[in-house]
Chain A
Amino acid sequence: MPFKTQKHDTAQTLTLEWILQVKNYKLALDKDQCVGCQICSLACPKGAITLIKQPKVTGEATKKAKVDIDLAKCNFCGVCDLTCPYGAIKLTFNGDHSLNVVAKETFPELIRDIKIDTRNCPKECVACKEACPLGQLKITKVTFDGKPVANFEALSPSERKHVVVNIDIPKDKCPTCRACEYKCPPGVIKMRKAFEGKIAVNQAKCPPGCRDCVDVCPMTGTLTVGNGKVEVNEATCTYCGACKVVCPVPEALTLKRTKVLHTPIHSGTWNKTLERITSPADVAKELKAASGLNAKKAVAKRFSKQEEFIR
């Protein structure tokens, strides 16, 4: 079989493939999970990903932009996979999801800093589950002897007391919006956002009655319409930019990402990606921080025997 490239576009997935005699490269985009944000298209070092705005139909909610990947440009590096905040893209080699760019320390993984301490969970509480805008958060309850609880109401009060609650957030898919954290009464969930930034709506520039951004925003409560105007609440914003993609007036909605939480890395690809996702100034900030760290390390290495002296 000669080298073959394939692209399949179905309603649920977009699949790109390189089929070689002994290797198979497969890039799959889960269209249900994709929110049409701009992060992968900004991150792609080959410029292979484009966003196609969907035509508006009067009387219907605005649709999210569609992601298209150019088979001729894609080199199956996996950068899109690593940067997607929603975990919608998966790259596999021979069915194995172990990325070369991670193994060779070329590209960082997003850190989804989620800490859950279920000891303080009220046993009947499901607030976090209800708060999750993507329905990813799962709560499982087991009795003290390890049996899963089918019906919490049917348990006796003493049994209820000894129920163990488990909260499961899929770490490769959670966009870290913190909605669950806010809704959690005793502060069981602690979360840091993977992307930080600034979002603002200039209501004066908004076309009257336009609610495109509100329609596509996957989060709850980030963008709302009050008094016919769009309002922003940054608390649950993931700074993904799905709203920015569909906004018809360029100045009406400004979105700036300033920081990405990621595993430590030293790589040109990442610097360029960061520059595109955030801004050159923010890259400089990160590089400065890294150089400070490096300097500290170097000093520590040299004077390791004189720790006292450093202090």
Chain B
Amino acid sequence: MSQPEAPKQPLQQPEPLRVGVFVCHCGLNIAGTVDVKAVAEYAKTIPDVVFVKENRYTCADPGQEEIRKAIREQKLNRVVIAACSPRMHEPTFRRTVSEAGLNPFLYEMANIREFASWCHQNDPQAATERAKDSVRMAVAKARLMMPLQTLEVPVTNKALIIGGGIAGMNAALDLAEMGFKVYMLENSQSIGGHMAALDKTFPTLDCSICIEGPKMVDCARHPNITIFAYSDLVKVDGYIGNFKVKIRKNPRYVIAERCTGCGECKDVCPIEYPNEWDMNLGTRKAISVPFDQTVPLIYAINRDYCIECFKCTDKCKDRQAIDFEQKPEEVEIDVGAIIVSTGFDVYLPYDMPLLGYGKYPNVITSMEFERLILAAGPTGGKVIRQSDGKKPHSIAFIQCVGSRDKNKYPYCSNFCCMYTLKHVVQIKEKYKEDVEVYVFYMDIRSPGKGYEEFYDRARERGANFIRGRVSRIDEDPITHNLILHSEDSNLGQPIEIEVEMVVLATAAIPKKGTADIARILNLSRDANGFFMEAHPKLKPMDAPTDGVFFAGACVSLKDIPFSVSQGSGAAARAATVISKPKWKIEPIISIVDETKCKSCGVCVDKCPYGAIRWEKGKPANIITASCHGCGTCVAECPQHAITQMHFTDAQIMAQIRSALQDKPEEKILAILCNWCSYAGADLAGISRFDYPASVRAIRVMCSGRVDKEFILEALRLGAGMVLLGACHLPYDCHYISGNYKMKARTDALKTMLIKLGMSPERFRVEYVSAAEGIRYAEVIKEIDAERKAIGKEKIEAETAKLKPVLENMLKRWKKP
């Protein structure tokens, strides 16, 4: 792989600064709370600002045109846009600025929507003050900004799809049809996912495997698709356009190329074990495929159960496909984009003893019911009770087992109502009047094409729908019938019903192994354990990591048509990357000042990506394409020889000084990492969680970037409180381990500051995820309360005491 050219450290521009400030109304989103006029007027008073303009919507075409016009006419060489979060519109305005001929890295955003108007709606005056300070801080940073050149890297035009369910298969087929090479990784023996285990699909009652089977075969036959089934993801290195993926092919003890799938080995195998594909209701042989339509049709031996009689080897004498000596094999592939479609698991309610699952033989889950009613299932399509092997004459379906339950899984599992209706229709059409059906539900949720009509069909078949949660199930010890205790909330009275079988519609939960995939790919997960998308509304298929996309239920639960459309959508998103010959990388990377570097090698260990090469006696060398731009090495370098472009020490120091210009003791200085805590703070604004307006926030890419000196400088200037926001330990850090490096650094710093006489509350490290808007608001409220409790006098006294020591420590910054 050729290395893109590292940018040479640009020199300060000699020309005089001409800063233009654009303040956005965002309709009433900003102007409703913040006095935009006052902010604009204030901006005019800031030194170096030569042009100020208000816009109703800066991001709209006329607003963008205003900026372009002003750059050309006013000869602006710095642009500050006071509007929404840079996480929202930074790329938009970078384009705008560069269209006007200005380097896109000469513009800065002041977040006055999420960070002022939306989160201080009850205090417009304070919000306006905060907005003014934000503009001033942005101008302070803008003064020191340097033009940067975007890097270009070559793109491997292949894709990897992790998880071969219905979403992953669609993504694979679409990409393959577009002409890209696709690798498909599946950890079970067959692709197909949950859909392959279903009997029928709602609301059309199509046979599930009959419609999915041809797609599975298409995947296997397509010349552009390579399937790695029975394999695990080991490691992913690299970055967008250039991922290096290591896959471990687990041994099947059957040579894939030689196996024809004839199944003669299975016939001679004497050993049976529970078939996980049948929810362990039936058995499979120690050498077998989980179901007849398995793709790829290659047998595998389960050595946990095999007794090594070698009868299969004897039977397969002619083809010699069986190899007991097979070892795991690691394969390395290069891809340009990755689609994650790992799907979900089904919750088994062993820990809800009142429902008797696992205790009473006739209580089953819906997925088990699905395997019972399936003609190819372990009972040949007969719904029978485990206790006596007879057909039940009454069945109760219980909805929301685990889902919509504050103590278990608070979310709605999306498809349970519909599949229960499907089961009701199926069982009613199969056994007619011979079976009485009860459905205990909270709400029937049927928003979809033909779904409500399907609900009507279920009711017309004569099922009894009872609105209420089942509190307890008892078993008759002789007949093994089940007695349900519930409340009919429509009638408002308790009811008791005896049935012969109970089917629990249990929650769908994140797939086992989601945490591992998240760690390998550096993805974040939400509070429920599902993957987090880059934006819930506008980027539902993009991961926060560039070049990684999502499809299907691994992000949020979806039924089949939605998963299929997401598969195709993710394929289109991935194609936007791999269809290009080159990909542009943000130049926000670290560079080494070779004159300052003392070749100590500290940075080499601290780089989470191993992007720094170093030989003793020679200056460190950063591999530009591998650098992800976290800035951890910058903060760690004892010689201050490393600089992170666009987040230089000088720029951040200027922001700190600007933030603490007036009444520093009343301020909370917050340094937030871009991916978690800044996003969390954005979410607090988006959710309109009100918190005190004394906070002044500075964005860095990673908490690992935060130099000790930033904290020292803030305290020297007399900041009331200092907050450092990071991603949760251990795995949330977008840059693998930046938060750990920060923790090691700040733990020592805090101890020292306390020894020097600082109140311990004044410096605080908080871990806030992108999903924890409410937590961010709570943290700020707490800190503000602590600030008031400590009191202005004490803070000032401490500052006076600390100042000489801190000044000594900050010698380097004496002359800014």
Could you list which residues of chain A lie within 8 angstroms of chain B, going by C-beta atoms? Answer: 1-4, 18-23, 45-46, 75-77, 79, 100-101, 103-107, 266-270, 272
Contact = CB atoms under 8 A, between A and B. Distances in A.
Contacts of B313: 268
A23 B309 contact: no
A269 B379 contact: no
B282 A104 contact: no
Contact of A268 (B274, B310, B363, B384): B310
B378 interface: yes
A46 to B, nearest CB: 7
A309 to B, nearest CB: 30
Interface string B275-301: 000011111001000000000000000
10 closest Cβ pairs, A-B complex: A3-B280, A268-B310, A21-B281, A1-B386, A104-B270, A45-B307, A106-B309, A269-B309, A1-B361, A100-B270
A254 B310 CA distance: 33
Contacts of A22: 281-282, 378-379, 384, 389
B307 A20 contact: no
B269 interface: yes
A271 to B, nearest CB: 9
Contact of B279 (A2, A79, A100, A266): A2
Contacts of A4: 358
A267 B274 CA distance: 24
B307 A2 contact: no
Interface size band for B: 35 or more
A252 to B, nearest CB: 34
A77 B307 contact: yes
B375 interface: no
B183 to A, nearest CB: 34
A20 B283 contact: yes
A103 B309 CA distance: 13
Contacts of A75: 271, 273, 286, 304-305, 307
B644 interface: no
A181 B316 CA distance: 47
Contacts of B360: 1
Contacts of B304: 75
A20 B280 contact: yes
Contacts of A23: 282-283
Given A4-B358, A20-B274, A79 B281 contact: no
B282 A106 contact: no
B281 A18 contact: no
Interface string B309-349: 11101100000000000000000000000000000000010
Interface in B784-812: none
Most buried by A among B283, B348, B360, B389: B283
B268 interface: yes
A2 B309 contact: no
Interface of B: 268-274, 279-283, 286, 304-305, 307-311, 313-314, 348, 357-358, 360-365, 368, 372, 378-379, 384, 386-387, 389
Contacts of B368: 2, 21
A254 to B, nearest CB: 29
Contacts of A1: 358, 360-364, 386-387
B379 A267 contact: no
A76 B362 CA distance: 25
B372 to A, nearest CB: 7
Contacts of B270: 77, 100-101, 103-104, 106-107
Given A75-B271, A77-B271, A21 B379 contact: yes
Contacts of A106: 270, 307, 309, 311
A106 B306 CA distance: 12
Contacts of B279: 2-3
Given A21-B386, A268-B308, 18 more contacts: A1-B387, A2-B348, A2-B357, A20-B283, A22-B282, A23-B282, A23-B283, A45-B307, A75-B304, A100-B272, A101-B309, A104-B269, A266-B314, A268-B309, A269-B307, A269-B309, A269-B310, A270-B309
Most buried by A among B271, B307, B372: B307
Most buried by A among B311, B314, B362, B365: B311
14 contacts: A1-B364, A1-B387, A2-B280, A2-B358, A2-B368, A20-B280, A22-B281, A22-B389, A23-B282, A76-B272, A77-B270, A107-B309, A266-B314, A269-B307
A141 B731 CA distance: 81
A200 to B, nearest CB: 33
A72 B368 CA distance: 23
A2 B314 CA distance: 35
Contacts of A3: 274, 279-281
Contacts of B281: 3, 20-22
A100 B309 contact: no
Contacts of B280: 2-3, 20
B282 A21 contact: yes
A75 B282 CA distance: 15
A267 B283 contact: no
Contacts of B358: 1-2, 4
Contacts of A76: 272
A231 to B, nearest CB: 40
B308 A269 contact: yes
Contacts of B357: 2
Contacts of A107: 270, 309
Nearest to A101: B270
A6 to B, nearest CB: 12
Nearest to B372: A21
Nearest to B267: A104
Most buried by B among A100, A103, A107, A269: A269
Contacts of A79: 307
A294 to B, nearest CB: 13
B380 to A, nearest CB: 9
Contacts of B384: 21-22
B269 to A, nearest CB: 7
A21 B308 contact: no
Nearest to B310: A268
B409 to A, nearest CB: 19
Contacts of B286: 75
B519 to A, nearest CB: 28
A168 B743 CA distance: 81
B348 A100 contact: no
Contacts of A100: 270-272
A299 B378 CA distance: 46
A103 to B, nearest CB: 7
